[in-house]
Structure 1
Amino acid sequence: MSTPLKLNKPLVSVEWLFENKSAPNLVILDATLPKVGQQQSASSKIEGIKNALFFDIKNIFSDTSAPFPNTAVTPDVFEQEVRKLGINQDDALVIYDRHGVYSSPRAWWLFKTMGFDNVAVLNGGFPEWIKAGYASEALIEYNGALGNFKSSYNSNALFDYKKVLEVLSDSKKIIIDARSSDRFKGTSPEPREGLRSGHIPNSKNLPFTELIDDGKLISQTELIQKFDHLIDKESDLIFSCGSGITACILALGAEVAGYKNLAVYDGSWTEWGSLHQLPIESD
């Protein structure tokens, strides 16, 4: 039997995954979320990496009763639903999506938030897997025994608007917004009706698209340059976006670049822009 995998970095290549696909504790998750305007496909009809399971961010791993989209579920619900996928505490998780690198970092961050670190994102996702000539098949539906996954919630990993308000005047805590520069500046309207335009006071802008090249995360050297241009290594970073998805791309990039003390503002601009008592800036 081959040695169980231990993932010591947050990003793996398709070549690495292919070489390690027979590891006894490997679980591959498809965490595809439709982009704005796209429809969610039925998982039974989805082609994916062999033996991959569907990690349903939209319907299972978001609180569908919450007022804002993509709100994280409670640790208890997360634990219960992950166990239904047969995932155990000693598993190694590799997460991909069918856009390249888009929604997979959200699933990666949720696992990190729940205290699980043996997890990585597949760089380039399913498109890169196919480009490399590796085989695909329909996603399987797990029907085996429950896993023994245990949530150990890190309350510092996910912020709500109250925690963001508390750090607005702290120069060592930097909010970085992953939206486009036009949305950040307030010169383009928000896609969600009723939202104010602009950004959180004192926040900085790093569009997530600047971290992606042809569906893959840019190199560690390039990531370091992107972040070092905005902040210093001692800063605590809080990432925001439209609804908590692409902020996690920045979190992934920052971790690859060597930053620590990272958090994601879960409600992001959908929440902040909806609450008229909260301050905003625009350029």
Structure 2
Amino acid sequence: MSSEKSKYIVSAEWVERQLGAPGFRVVDASWYLPAQNRNGAAEYSAGHVPGAVFFDQDVVTDRTSPLPHTVPSPEFFAAEVGKLGISESDTIVVYDGPGIFSAPRAWWLFRLMGAKNVYVMDGGLDGWKREGRPLQTDLPEPAPADFHANFNPYAVTSFEEMRGIVTTGSRQIADARSAGRFTAKEAEPRAGLRSGHMPGARNLPVGLLSTDGRFKDLASLKQAIEDAGIDLSRPVVTSCGSGVTAAIITLALHSLGHEDNTLYDGSWAEWGGRTDTPVVTGEA
């Protein structure tokens, strides 16, 4: 396992070779926090991987939820990605700007909805540009496709389930936020949220899982997870600020063959925004 990479990670070089192949779809899933001062849609319009379609993580969501970019219904997801020309049987490669930030959330969503062949492009669009690979500014007009969703509800943890997990300790909780936010030394970027973490949670800042936008090798991922106090032989639920970067830990777990994991979709936006949930500050 010394330098072996995740089977879900593909190189920009490989992606470039596949461009235009039948059933090969590239998806720009760039999404940013306000503090990053980047706009995914604007950057996509300015230049993207040739043939890539833009997957808006603030649009393909549950419109009835007050929380940001929550999991949409399978029917809505299927309709929206069908408009993008994507079928569940396609080979789907997702990327974001920096490399390993918002793309894993889209990777998780496509898999959650039944797509099997879904990958994340290492290095992101930033790396693609640095390497001088071709860019397209025209907006593609893909032929509509039928995406037949096969939703896996067991991969998503609800608020009530999360409350039970915190009470019983039935699953380990891996929190992807920064150490400062986890310990409450830093304020949350979203207004109205308490700082701190769920009782029993372990902190695994996702910056530890990649270097310069490239996912670390399996041995390094395993070390980072174990160093956070997470036992890979036990069930895990991942969480973060709003359900996006939690998927980076989910990607790492699946890369290591850990299948008994779920993602808490409401994450801290939900837990920290309520007044009836226990919150702990300081180190875990």
Amino acid at match of 1:182: G
Partner of 1:189: 187
Q: Does residue 175 of the first structure (1) align with residue 212 of the second (2)?
A: no
Q: Percent identity?
A: 35
User: Secondary structure of 1:56's match?
Assistant: coil
| Partner deviation per Cα, 1:22-59 (whole Å, 9 max, x = no partner) | 4311000000112323353447733011111111112x
1:170-249 to 2 correspondences below 5 Å = 170-229=168-227, 230-249=229-248
Amino acid at match of 1:149: F
Partner of 2:100: 101
User: Secondary structure of 1:136's match?
Assistant: coil
User: Secondary structure of 2:136's match?
Assistant: strand
Q: Structure 1 residue 258: deviation in Å?
A: 2.5
Partner of 1:81: 80
User: Secondary structure of 1:93's match?
Assistant: strand
Amino acid at match of 1:195: L
Partner of 2:150: 152
Q: Does residue 122 of the first structure (1) align with residue 115 of the second (2)?
A: no
Q: Distance in 2 between matches of 1:244 and 1:15?
A: 30
Q: Distance in 2 between matches of 1:280 and 1:153?
A: 32
**Contact kept in structure 1, 2:86 and 2:146, CA below 8 Å:** yes
**Contact kept in structure 2, 1:172 and 1:234, CA below 8 Å:** no
Partner of 2:110: 111
Change (3 A) 1:130 1:42: closer
Q: Distance in 2 between matches of 1:89 and 1:115?
A: 7
Q: Distance in 2 between matches of 1:228 and 1:260?
A: 16
Amino acid at match of 1:186: A
Change (3 A) 1:181 1:104: same
Q: Structure 1 residue 86: deviation in Å?
A: 1.4
**Contact kept in structure 1, 2:44 and 2:54, CA below 8 Å:** no
Q: Gaps (5+ residues) in structure 2?
A: 1-5
Q: Report the TM-score when normalising by structure 2.
A: 0.90
Partner of 2:3: none
Amino acid at match of 1:189: A
**Contact kept in structure 1, 2:8 and 2:120, CA below 8 Å:** yes
Amino acid at match of 2:157: F
Q: Structure 1 residue 172: deviation in Å?
A: 4.9
Amino acid at match of 1:261: D
**Larger deviation, residues 245-254 vs 37-46:** 37-46
Q: Does residue 11 of the first structure (1) align with residue 9 of the second (2)?
A: yes
Q: Structure 1 residue 21: deviation in Å?
A: 2.5
| Partner deviation per Cα, 1:99-120 (whole Å, 9 max, x = no partner) | 2211111111111111222101
Q: Distance in 1 between matches of 2:74 and 2:43?
A: 24
Higher helix share: 2
Q: Structure 1 residue 266: deviation in Å?
A: 0.7
Q: Distance in 2 between matches of 1:117 and 1:170?
A: 33
Count of residue pairs brought into register by the alignment: 274
Q: Distance in 2 between matches of 1:239 and 1:47?
A: 33
Partner of 1:136: 135
User: Secondary structure of 1:137's match?
Assistant: coil
Q: Distance in 2 between matches of 1:67 and 1:18?
A: 39
| Partner deviation per Cα, 1:237-283 (whole Å, 9 max, x = no partner) | 11111111111111112222222112111111010011111111112
| Partner deviation per Cα, 1:186-226 (whole Å, 9 max, x = no partner) | 12111111111110111100001111211111121100111
1:29-68 to 2 correspondences below 5 Å = 29-37=27-35, 38=37, 40=39, 41-42=41-42, 45-58=45-58, 60-68=59-67
RMSD: 1.8
Q: Does residue 271 of the first structure (1) align with residue 270 of the second (2)?
A: yes
**Contact kept in structure 1, 2:94 and 2:121, CA below 8 Å:** yes
- Flag as ranges the 4+ runs of structure 1 deviating above 6 A: none
